[in-house]
Chains A and B, each alone.
Chain A
Amino acid sequence: MTSLLATTLPSRFRWTDTLAWLPWIISAGIVGYAFLSGGYVVTLVVFALIYAVFVIGLNIFMGFTNQVSFGQNAFAAISGYTSAVLTTAYEWTTLPAIAVGVALAVLCAFLIGYPTLRLKGHYLAMGTLAIGLITYEISVEWSSVTQGYMGISGIPPLGIGAYEVTSDRGQLALLVVIVLILTFMSARIRTSRLGRAFFAVAGSEDAARALGVDVARYKLASFILSAACAALAGSLFVHVVGFVSPEVFGLHMVILSFTMLYVGGIGTVAGPLLGALIVSLLPDTFRAFKDYQDLAYGAVLILLLIYAPRGLAALFDRYVPAKKVGGAP
């Protein structure tokens, strides 16, 4: 009797299917709430979405391709400063400034990526960290262009031509669209030929090479995609805030983005968005104290790495085969 019942039920239905949607529902809930309530929450969610753009990129390089970069803030800085300088000193409009900024960052990623990505392990980690720090030092020292610690203010808001998005809700809507497009792209990449190549490189470079995957080229592709996202995030940031200083793209950004990636779930599609939203909203109580914020992010990151290395979205994501956290450190 029970077996008959079981066969008459739609056999494909499983609760895990709906669970897979949970990260999206939570994210949509947070964004929807911000949109309706307005005020400070909107600002918070706008920043979260900008960071989501950054983390989506980080996820492509680290989650999909299993590489390490502590220096993605360099590309955010390159693009952010290019945007800022072009719109203030040269009075460009926003859109071409962002385009040039991102293009320049991608060019740098190409030039830097070629020698850097040959490195492995600790060397890759330290090499990329060095790139981030060099960019930071240059943004401090090259004061004729970047105004050093003072930073550049009066950067125009986002917009196309004469139409400028200045309202909080307008910015929120625009960023939602951008994040959705990028998330969709990252989902598509994941199931595409490109994504399979990334996962092959992630699994084992030697095996990937044996299967005919051009490892160096796909690593570089992944790095450039990731840098492009970081660059876009950097430009979006300076136009939304209207101000840029070296601190914006400092080590703080690196730790924050890693915390978001690990909270959300590294290697998942929904992870970056979910992580960025949750991490931005959680330490809301500490918002007046940036020092406590970094402390909290660091501590949370350590706890996550130890106790929940696959993050929140991974709990719901049944498509990822449980990745073995293996191998000697």
Chain B
Amino acid sequence: MGDLSFVLQILVSGLGVGCVYGLIGIGFCVIYNASGIVNFAQGAFVMLGGMITHALLQRAGLPLPLAAAISIVLVAALGVVVERVVVRPLWNRQATMFVMILATLAAQIVIERLTLIVAGDQPRTLPVFTDLPPIRIGTIAIGYQFLWIVGGSLTIVTLLALFFRMTNTGKAMRACAINREAASLLGIPVSRMLALSFALSAALGAIAGILITPTQYTAFNVGVPFAISGFIAAIVGGFGRPFGAFLGGLMLGLVQAIAVVSLGAGLKNVAALSVLLVFLFFRPSGLLGTSK
């Protein structure tokens, strides 16, 4: 019985992490849908979300909600900078997909190293949002941060769904995803949609980073593993399907939690990467998707 509650406890925490992977995965999908680009710098946004919030909280002494909000805005702005400085020039030169991947990966390294130089290599963490003892359901303890993560992610997923369905901008972005040329012929500013998608995606990454940091830690080099997990989530969900990506994230979180229990914490990333390879080799269209 004790074993069962332990496993349930692990699965609960896996779901929490999975929500965060899902958000990062949605970030991948948003850019991919608007442009056909896979942004390998996605992890930098996650890392900076946590790092900037920490800096504002500790150095500037701002309250947490304000620090988090400013950090999200700053990271979204950085997303636009990456789009303008790295992606746009290549886009205009009709660079190949591979060159685009390499350039965004290089951007990831540049941002990572700049953060290392500015902030040092000490791992940071954020205080939990609500400092109360965890809720107990039977033998399982559910922390308030878990509720924040799940609630926050679900809220954002809902808001995104409304955005893509209800607003003109959201509809325009969906039009770009379906057919960029046709969208452009209809008068949709495709290039502005590209910038917007980077801002949105960076903001999603930052939110994911802020939500997860209180339960773990953040440092200059957490970006790439998070990006990979988000990418896996996106692939499992069938690339380009935001809600698929969210489900994929949940699945990955659970698989990782199980791997930690059965194989040890050190092999967490190996388990995630193995999930990626299994999907790439056997079901590249994901659980929900049709072949792309």
Contacts and interface: CB of A to CB of B under 8 A. Distances in A.
Interface of A: 68, 70, 115-116, 118-119, 121-123, 125-127, 129-131, 133-134, 137-138, 140-141, 251, 255, 258, 291-292, 294-295, 297-299, 301-302, 305-306, 309, 325-329
B113 interface: yes
Contacts of B109: 251, 255, 294-295, 297-298
Contacts of B246: none
A123 B284 contact: yes
B93 A325 contact: yes
**Interface of chain B, main secondary structure:** helix
Contact of A134 (B95, B106, B107, B270): B270
A251 B95 CA distance: 23
Nearest to A136: B269
B191 to A, nearest CB: 13
B99 interface: yes
A205 B276 CA distance: 25
Interface residues of B, number: 45
Interface of B: 35-38, 40, 86, 89-91, 93-103, 105-107, 109-110, 113-114, 116-117, 224, 228, 231, 235, 239, 266-267, 269-270, 273-274, 276-277, 280-281, 284
A306 B235 CA distance: 28
B102 A122 contact: no
A125 B280 CA distance: 11
Nearest to A119: B280
A301 B117 contact: no
A329 B87 CA distance: 11
B280 A328 contact: no
B113 A122 contact: no
A179 B273 CA distance: 34
Nearest to B90: A306
Contacts of A295: 109-110, 113-114, 117
A70 B105 contact: yes
B94 A126 contact: no
A299 B48 CA distance: 19
Nearest to A67: B98
A116 to B, nearest CB: 8
Contact of B102 (A121, A130, A251, A301): A301
A150 to B, nearest CB: 15
A121 B239 CA distance: 13
B277 A130 contact: yes
Given A127-B280, A133-B273, A137-B267, A298 B106 contact: yes
A195 B97 CA distance: 23
Nearest to A300: B106
Contacts of A137: 266-267, 269-270, 273
Given A294-B113, A305-B95, A329-B37, A115 B281 contact: yes
Given A130-B273, A134-B270, A134-B274, A327 B96 contact: yes
Given A123-B280, A133-B269, A137-B273, A327 B103 contact: no
Contacts of B98: 68, 121, 125
Contacts of B280: 116, 119, 123, 126-127, 130
Contacts of B38: 122, 125-126
Contacts of B224: 133, 251
A123 B99 CA distance: 14
B91 A329 contact: yes
Given A134-B274, A141-B270, A291 B116 contact: yes
Contacts of A138: 270
A329 B273 contact: no
Contact of B113 (A115, A133, A134, A298): A298
Interface pairs A-B: 8 shortest CB-CB: A295-B113, A298-B110, A298-B109, A298-B106, A301-B106, A141-B266, A130-B273, A122-B38
Nearest to A70: B105
Kindly name the residue among B91, B97, B102, B273 whose own CB sees the greatest number of chain A CB atoms within 10 A.
B102
Contacts of A115: 281
A327 B106 CA distance: 22
Given A133-B269, A137-B267, A301 B94 contact: no
Contacts of B273: 130, 133-134, 137
Given A137-B273, A298-B107, 20 more contacts: A119-B280, A121-B98, A125-B38, A125-B98, A130-B276, A134-B274, A134-B277, A137-B269, A255-B106, A258-B102, A294-B113, A298-B106, A301-B106, A305-B95, A305-B106, A309-B99, A329-B37, A329-B91, A329-B95, A329-B100
